[in-house]
Amino acid sequence: MQNTLTPQQLTLNIDAGQFNFADTSELIVDGQNSPQYQAWVTQAEAKKAAEFGLSIRHPGFNLLALGEPGSGRTTLMLNMMHEAAARSPVVSDLVALYQFDANGKPMFLKLPAGAGTQLKQAMDNFVRVFAKDLPALLEAKTQQNSIAPLQIFLEGQLATVKASLTLIGADKIPAHYFTALQQDILDTLDAWQPSPGAEGESNIEALMNESFFGRYRANLLVEHHAGQHAPVLYDNDPSLQSLFGGIESASEASNIPDFMRLRAGNLLRADAGTLLLHLRDILADEQNGAHILEKLHRFLRNGTLQIEDLTSSSSQGSSLINAQAAIPVSVKIVLIATREDYYELLGITPDFFDYFPIKIEFADQVKANAEHYAAYASFVAYKCQQHHCRHFTAEALAGLLQAMHRLIEDQTRLSTKFGVLEKLLLESSVAAELRGAALVGIEDVKSAIQRKYARHSYIESHMRDSIVDKELIISVYGESVGQINGLTHIDLSEASFGSPVRISANCYAGSRGVLTIDREVRMSGPTHDKGVMILQSWLHSNFAHLNPLNLTASLVFEQEYSGVDGDSASCAELFALLSSLAQLPIKQGIAVTGALNQHGEVLPIGGLNEKIEGYFRVCKEIGLDGKQGVLIPERNMRHLMLSDEVIQAVSDGRFHIATMNNVADGIQHVTGRSLQELNSLAEQALRGFKQTLEANLPKLDR
């Protein structure tokens, strides 16, 4: 049954009296400053899944976090990753050394945290002392014709190196490496013979370069501090180089040993810890995205990583690349994705997600209850503290909560887009600052919302001006047969608004049924076409005793040149068609939105508030006469979160909003006549069409 709504039904009025504080500063608790804790309250199921996934230390249990941007996916997961890391085992440094018995191929050592730095510094000191004393050692060798002085020097220096490695147990020191290093130096210098140059200089200069000394250094690939917890990394610009590492390019004149040019990527740096990635960042890399995913897949499958030169297929380090050892790496990857990206990639490479068995679903909305209201209030309080901005009064907080209801158009649920809430919070604080207030009031929240609308209203105002200037023909006065105002929803991200569009219908004798001109010229989408076919099904059902219908009806969205889609205009189309068929006029001040099923029931639609407000602004510009309004589905009532301006106009009787549950309700409201009366008139017209067809059948072009 058609029902005119009261002002109280047009929005959710949140009573600020339910909050036991005057302003949000009272919610700050000493020692706690994390708004993330409050945000997790609204994501209870996601929190359980995340905690469970991060507590599993076995390989292969990576996490996939699904949700919309702004829902706190990244911030909340990083927060929990840091908490889990504090409870994780001690991490390791990774060092690359010259492997003397394998033609210089790198040897990788995992050492206790901090020990890698000790080894690097010790080897750098060794090289520095060795380079300084080398001329004297070679001179002693020549004079004594023995390498004994050199051997004594090396044993002493290497003993010093080993003694400096205090973070490595005596049984863990790589003795084999130091033995091979000492032997390599002895063999090299034993084979060296002095050879005076043209000016009497010794050829010792040939040894005094990095190609000789460099192989005795240590390349510290991954560095940690002693006592540091497991690493938590966030690669916000993933590439082949940033994830998998690479080999630093060297000029032709470079004499740096190959193993010293190795550089670690974030997968190596995150060994024994966690790494957060955004799937979108990888997919957006048109050049290397597929390659990154394939290499990541192989890494997840094998659990090992080999540093490669990813810049060139003919690099100088190719022999090193092909021969170096694979490094075992244990990283728990947290992959952030939207549901759309996830399901699209799942259809292409389903086995990739076999390595992400822990799925975390971030809810887009939560039920509005006292617990969640309190969590949002605390979130606002800690964000105010974090950003050093003005706190909110209880009334202003109620305004923020209403905005979160409006964001998802639901009086019973709140949006979890905390990113949007944070921006509104900051803009409201600035509005309070501009008026010199110590606290943010409800007027500041409304001012911030209005300012945001004004910043993005250019396109809407341009369309509205076209209607006011009669370039787009929209009538909001009087009555007319076969035409009605439908409502379109235009979503341009921040600029989301509604606008009326005239829908007209003509009916005449024929046998082609319902034609939509937009579909005939391929300017309609499949959802719209589906709605028209449902409309036609209802027509056949309603006039079943007259089947087949001796009718051809044409429908069109007037002055619509960019195409139409969606089924939210199917009610308006049906009303225009029935009006034309029965020759009953429709009130032009009433705009209609609603979808239709085959049984004549009216179904809910989206973009409701923008549609109503957009039509209201058009009527306001042209002139409100108290007869204008919008007819919406009854099932959409809980989605109403209208602006104060519209509510005030309804309260003053200058605008009205009514609901319908079925076709009969809608017809009654837009024509003032019952469906039975309309059917009777329509049946007369259809019988007339039938007589016309029968009388002229041979002449009809079928």
400-439 pLDDT, tens digit per residue, is 999 999 999 999 999 999 999 999 999 999 999 999 999 9
Q: Is residue 630 part of a domain?
A: yes
Rounded to whole angstroms, the Cα distance separating 507 from 553 reads: 4
For the stretch 447-496, pLDDT in tens is: 999 999 999 999 999 999 999 999 999 999 999 999 999 999 988 877 78
In this structure, the answer to whether residues 622 and 633 fall within a common structural domain is: yes
Rounded to whole angstroms, the Cα distance separating 535 from 516 reads: 11
Rounded to whole angstroms, the Cα distance separating 382 from 31 reads: 12
Angle between helices 442-455 and 394-407 (to 10 degrees): 30
Amino acid at 145: N
Q: Are 218 and 97 in contact (CB under 8 A)?
A: yes
Q: Are 341 and 329 in contact (CB under 8 A)?
A: no
Rounded to whole angstroms, the Cα distance separating 413 from 390 reads: 27
Structure tokens at 557: 């969205």
SS3 labels along 590-647:
EEECCEECCCCEEECCCCHHHHHHHHHHHHHHHCCCCCCEEEEEHHHHHHCCCCHHHH
Q: Is residue 7 part of a domain?
A: no
Rounded to whole angstroms, the Cα distance separating 115 from 97 reads: 14
Res 31: pLDDT = 58
Tallying the residues shown for the chain, one arrives at: 702
Using CA atoms of 208, 210, 215, 220 in order, give the dihedral in degrees to the nearest 10.
140
Task: Give one DSSP letter per residue of 418-453, joined into a string.
Answer: HHHHHHHHHHHHHHHHHTT-SSB-HHHHHHHHHHHH
In this structure, the answer to whether residues 508 and 431 fall within a common structural domain is: no
Three-class SS state of 224: coil
CATH number, domain containing residue 374: 1.10.8.60
Going by C-beta distance under 8 Å and a sequence separation of 6 or more, which residues neighbour residue 582? 678, 679, 681, 682, 685
Structure tokens at 648: 């005030």
For the stretch 279-324, pLDDT in tens is: 999 999 989 999 999 999 999 999 999 988 766 544 444 445 445 7
Using CA atoms of 483, 487, 488, 493 in order, give the dihedral in degrees to the nearest 10.
160
Rounded to whole angstroms, the Cα distance separating 374 from 362 reads: 19
Task: Give one DSSP letter per residue of 96-134, joined into a string.
Answer: EEE-GGGTT-EEEEEEETTHHHHHHHHHHHHHHHHHHHH
Give the residue among 439, 421, 408 at the shortest CA–CA distance from 380: 421
Res 502: pLDDT = 95
Rounded to whole angstroms, the Cα distance separating 342 from 247 reads: 32
pLDDT confidence bin for 203, thresholds 50/70/90 = low
Of 412, 430, 455, which residue constitutes the final position of a domain? Answer: 455
Burial class for 276, CB neighbours closer than 10 Å (0-12, 13-18, 19+): buried
Rg for the chain, CA atoms, rounded: 38
In this structure, the answer to whether residues 84 and 96 fall within a common structural domain is: no
- Domain count of the fold of the chain: 4
Rounded to whole angstroms, the Cα distance separating 243 from 415 reads: 34
Burial class for 673, CB neighbours closer than 10 Å (0-12, 13-18, 19+): middle
Q: Is residue 6 part of a domain?
A: no
In this structure, the answer to whether residues 526 and 605 fall within a common structural domain is: yes
The residue segments making up the domain with residue 477 are 472-696
Query: What's the average model confidence in pLDDT over 543-555?
Result: 81
In this structure, the answer to whether residues 352 and 369 fall within a common structural domain is: no
Res 698: pLDDT = 62
Give the residue among 538, 567, 573 at the shortest CA–CA distance from 679: 538
For the stretch 82-126, pLDDT in tens is: 989 988 777 899 999 999 887 778 899 999 999 999 999 999 999
Residue 383 clears pLDDT 80, i.e. is over it: yes
Element (DSSP H or E) covering residue 484: strand 483-492
In this structure, the answer to whether residues 48 and 127 fall within a common structural domain is: no
159 C-beta neighbours (distance < 10 Å), count: 11
Burial class for 530, CB neighbours closer than 10 Å (0-12, 13-18, 19+): middle
In this structure, the answer to whether residues 512 and 656 fall within a common structural domain is: yes
pLDDT confidence bin for 136, thresholds 50/70/90 = confident
CATH number, domain containing residue 54: 3.40.50.300
In this structure, the answer to whether residues 76 and 222 fall within a common structural domain is: no
Burial class for 86, CB neighbours closer than 10 Å (0-12, 13-18, 19+): exposed
Give the residue among 689, 685, 688 at the shortest CA–CA distance from 578: 685
Give the residue among 604, 613, 607 at the shortest CA–CA distance from 637: 604
Q: Is residue 589 part of a domain?
A: yes
What separation in angstroms does the CA of 413 have from each of 446, 451, 461, 567?
20, 25, 31, 25
For the stretch 241-274, pLDDT in tens is: 999 999 887 665 567 888 888 999 999 999 999 9
Of 455, 488, 514, which residue constitutes the final position of a domain? Answer: 455
Rounded to whole angstroms, the Cα distance separating 37 from 29 reads: 13
Q: Are 318 and 309 in contact (CB under 8 A)?
A: yes
Q: Is residue 4 part of a domain?
A: no
pLDDT confidence bin for 196, thresholds 50/70/90 = low
Three-class SS state of 500: strand
Res 564: pLDDT = 85
In this structure, the answer to whether residues 567 and 660 fall within a common structural domain is: yes
Of 455, 488, 521, which residue constitutes the final position of a domain? Answer: 455
Q: Is residue 1 part of a domain?
A: no
For the stretch 691-701, pLDDT in tens is: 888 887 665 44
Q: Is residue 463 part of a domain?
A: no
Rounded to whole angstroms, the Cα distance separating 569 from 516 reads: 12
With a threshold of 0.75, does the pTM exceed it? yes
Res 108: pLDDT = 93
In this structure, the answer to whether residues 331 and 239 fall within a common structural domain is: yes
Q: Is residue 465 part of a domain?
A: no
Three-class SS state of 527: helix
Res 311: pLDDT = 60
In this structure, the answer to whether residues 214 and 267 fall within a common structural domain is: no
Res 34: pLDDT = 66
CATH number, domain containing residue 512: 3.30.230.10
Burial class for 285, CB neighbours closer than 10 Å (0-12, 13-18, 19+): middle
In this structure, the answer to whether residues 484 and 594 fall within a common structural domain is: yes
Average pLDDT, the chain: 89
pLDDT confidence bin for 585, thresholds 50/70/90 = very high
pLDDT confidence bin for 189, thresholds 50/70/90 = confident
